[in-house]
Copies of this chain bind each other. A is one copy, B any other.
C-alpha cells in the first residue's frame, strides 16, 4: 500500500517528474499538492506532522513561510543544481538538509550548451524552418553559417568545465571568467566578463544566479561582444539583463543568442519570435 510508504511532498511537479515518477512511487507515498483541489496551506496542514521529505521544483519557493507549515520536514531534494529558490539559512536553522542535483546533470547541460552554440552559428533551427516553409525549392540556398571561433565560458564550475572539454574537441580557443583563476587549466583566464566578451566571439553563461551575477551580462558586456558575437545562456535567466539583450538582438548589435533560460519563465519576450538568429529553448 502506498499509504505505508514514507511520504514525499511535491508542491509543483519538477520537469523531470514524469521520468522518475514510477520509480519514486515504489518507494514513497507521493503527496501531489498541485493536483489537490483544497488550498495549498490546508493541504500542507493535513500532512504537517508526518511529512519529512519534499521534492522541490525550481518554482517552489522554499522560504520561512512554507517551512513554518512543515515542522516535521527533514529533507528538501531538488532535481536542479540551482538553489536560489530556497532560503538556505532558514533550512540550516531548522536542521533541514538540502540536496541539489550538484553535477548530476552537468554533462546534459553542457551538451545542450554546445547544441545551442552550434545551432546559432550554423543556423540549424532557422534553416530547418526555411526548408519546412518550402523556400529551398522556391528561393534557393539558405545562407551559410559561420565557424565557431574563440569562445568564452562564464562561470567555471561543473557545467563550465564540461563545456570546455567539448569546445576544445571542436577546435575552439577557450577562455573563461570565474571568481579565481584555476591553475593547470589550458584556457585563457579573464578576471572580468567585460574583457572576456571583448576577446571572444561567443559567451556561454554557465554560472549560478547570485546577487553578484544578477544582470552581470549588461549593455557594456553585450557591446564588447559586438555585432557578430553570440550569447548562449544555460545558467539562469536573470544573469542577463534580458531587456537589454532583446534590444541588442532587435537592433543587430549582437550576432545571435541561444537561450535555455529566461528572466521570467515561461514568459519569452515576443520580439524574439521574429528573429532568425535566436534559438529558444523552454528549459
Which of A157-178 touch B at CB < 8 Å? Answer: 165-166, 168-171
For the complex, give the distance between the alpha carbons of A144 and B111 in Å.
Answer: 13
* Chain B residues in 8 Å Cβ range of A118: 111-112, 114-115, 118
Does A228 reach chain B (CB closer than 8 Å)?
no
For the complex, give the distance between the alpha carbons of A280 and B131 in Å.
Answer: 7
* Chain B residues in 8 Å Cβ range of A166: 166, 169-170
* Chain B residues in 8 Å Cβ range of A119: 115, 119, 124-125
CB <8 Å contact, B282 and A170: no
Identify which of A184-192, A219-227, A238-246, A266-274 touches chain B.
A266-274
Does A45 reach chain B (CB closer than 8 Å)?
no
Known: A127-B282, A170-B166. A112 touches B107 (CB 8 A): no
Interface of A is mostly: helix
Which of A92-133 touch B at CB < 8 Å? Answer: 107-108, 110-112, 114-116, 118-119, 121-122, 124-125, 127-132
CB <8 Å contact, B122 and A125: no
* Chain B residues in 8 Å Cβ range of A116: 124
Identify which of A46-54, A66-74, A134-142 touches chain B.
A134-142
For the complex, give the distance between the alpha carbons of A139 and B116 in Å.
Answer: 23
* Chain B residues in 8 Å Cβ range of A168: 169
* Chain B residues in 8 Å Cβ range of A142: 282
Does A281 reach chain B (CB closer than 8 Å)?
yes
Nearest residue (CB) in B for A132 is B273
CB <8 Å contact, B281 and A137: no
For the complex, give the distance between the alpha carbons of A131 and B258 in Å.
Answer: 13
Does A197 reach chain B (CB closer than 8 Å)?
no
For the complex, give the distance between the alpha carbons of A23 and B171 in Å.
Answer: 26
* Chain B residues in 8 Å Cβ range of A170: 107, 110-111, 114, 166, 169
Interface centre among A114, A168, A281 (most CB of B within 10 A): A281
Q: Closest Cβ of chain B: how far from A79's Cβ, in Å? A: 11
For the complex, give the distance between the alpha carbons of A162 and B131 in Å.
Answer: 27
Nearest residue (CB) in B for A112 is B122
* Chain B residues in 8 Å Cβ range of A261: none
Known: A137-B266, A165-B169. A128 touches B130 (CB 8 A): no
Task: Sample 8 A-B pairs with CB under 8 A, ordered by A number.
Answer: A16-B144, A110-B170, A112-B124, A118-B118, A124-B281, A136-B282, A142-B282, A169-B169
